[in-house]
Amino acid sequence: MHKLTLAEQLAGLAAKQFSSEELTLDYLARIERFDSRFNSYITLAPETALEAARAADAAYARGDAGALAGVPIAHKDLFCTAGIKTSCASKMLDNFVPPYDATLVSKLADAGVVMLGKTNMDEFAMGSSNETSFYGRARNPWGTDCVPGGSSGGSAAAVAAGLCAAATGSDTGGSIRQPAALCGITGLKPTYGRVSRYGMVAFASSLDQAGPMARTAEDCALLLQAMAGFDPRDSTSLDAPVPDYRATLNDSLEGLRIGLPKEYFGGALNPAMEAGVRTAIRELEQLGATVKEISLPHTGLAVPCYYVIAPAEASANLSRFDGVRYGYRCENPRDLYDLYTRTRAEGFGTEVKSRILIGTYALSAGYYDAYYRKAQQVRRLIRNDFVEAFKEVDVIAGPTTPNPAFCFDELSDPVTMYLEDIYTIAVNLAGLPALSLPAAFVGDKPAGLQLIGNYLSEARLLNIGHRFQQVTDWHQRRAPGLD
Ligand code: GLN
Residues 3-54: pLDDT tens digits?
A: 999 999 999 999 999 999 999 999 999 999 999 999 999 999 999 999 999 9
88 lines ligand 1 (CB under 6 A): no
pLDDT the model gives residue 416? 86
Residue 422: what pLDDT? 95
Position 459: which residue type? A
Name the residue of 128, 420, 424 whose CB sits within 8 Å of the most ligand 1 atoms, as the mutation to test its pocket.
128
Alpha carbon nearest to ligand 1 atom 4, residue: 127
Q: Is 424 in the pocket of ligand 1 (CB under 6 A)?
A: no
Looking at ligand 1, which residue's alpha carbon is closest to its atom 10?
A: 126
Residue in 429, 450, 393 with CA at minimum distance from that of residue 192: 429
- Rounded CA-CA distance 330/92 in Å is 10
Higher pLDDT residue, 415 or 467? 467
Active-site residue 457, yes or no? Answer: no
pLDDT score at 468: 98
* Alpha carbons 77 and 200: distance in angstroms, whole number: 9
Amino acid at 190: P
- Dist CA 428 CA 292 (whole Å): 23
CA of 158 to the centre of ligand 1 (A): 19
Domains in the chain, number? 1
pLDDT for 414 beyond 90: no
Torsional class of 369: left (φ above 0), alpha (ψ -120 to 50), beta (otherwise)? alpha
What confidence score (pLDDT) does residue 268 get? Answer: 86
Task: Supply the pLDDT for residue 483.
Answer: 82
pLDDT at 273: 97
pLDDT value for 251: 98
Q: Is 313 in the pocket of ligand 1 (CB under 6 A)?
A: no
Q: Is 262 a catalytic residue?
A: no
Region 367-394 average pLDDT: 97
> Measured in angstroms, how far is the CA atom of residue 466 from the centroid of ligand 1?
27
- With a cut of 80, say whether residue 412 has pLDDT above it: no
Percent of the chain having pLDDT more than 70?
100
Say which CATH number the domain at 282 has: 3.90.1300.10
Q: Which of 129, 155, 175, 436 is catalytic?
A: 175
Query: Does residue 171 have its Cβ closer than 6 Å to ligand 1?
Result: yes
How far, in Å, CA of 410 to CA of 329, rounded? Answer: 34
Distance from the alpha carbon of residue 305 to the mean position of ligand 1, in angstroms: 13
> What is the arithmetic mean of pLDDT over 344-358?
98
Asked whether residue 473 carries a pLDDT value surpassing 80, the answer given is yes
pLDDT mean across residues, the chain: 97
Supply the range of the domain harboring residue 421: 1-483
Mean local confidence (pLDDT), 396-407: 97
Q: Is 54 helix (H, G, I), strand (E, B) or coil?
A: helix
Q: Please give the pLDDT value at position 415.
A: 87
Q: Is 153 in the pocket of ligand 1 (CB under 6 A)?
A: no
For residue 221, name the pLDDT band (cuts at 50, 70, 90).
very high
Cis peptide bond N-terminal to 151, omega within 30: yes
DSSP β-bridge partners for residue 293: 260
Q: Give 411's pLDDT tier (boundaries 50, 70, 90).
A: confident
| Confidence class for position 413, pLDDT limits 50, 70, 90 | confident
Say if residues 145 and 176 touch (Cβ distance below 8 Å): no
**Burial bucket for residue 187 (CB in 10 Å: 0-12, 13-18, 19+):** buried
pTM: 0.98
Q: Which of 386-400, 403-417, 433-447 has the lowest mean pLDDT?
A: 403-417
CA distance 280 to 275: 9
Instruction: Choose, from 151, 152, 170, 315, the residue flagged as catalytic.
Output: 151
196 is catalytic: no
- In the reported structure, the alpha carbon of residue 289 is separated from the centroid of ligand 1 by a whole-number distance in angstroms of 32
Least confident of 398-402, 416-420, 466-470: 416-420
Backbone φ and ψ for 419, nearest 5 degrees, come out as -70, -15
Is the pLDDT reported for residue 144 higher than 90? yes
DSSP structure class, residue 84:
B
126 lines ligand 1 (CB under 6 A): yes
pLDDT tens digit string along 248-269?
999 999 999 999 999 999 888 9
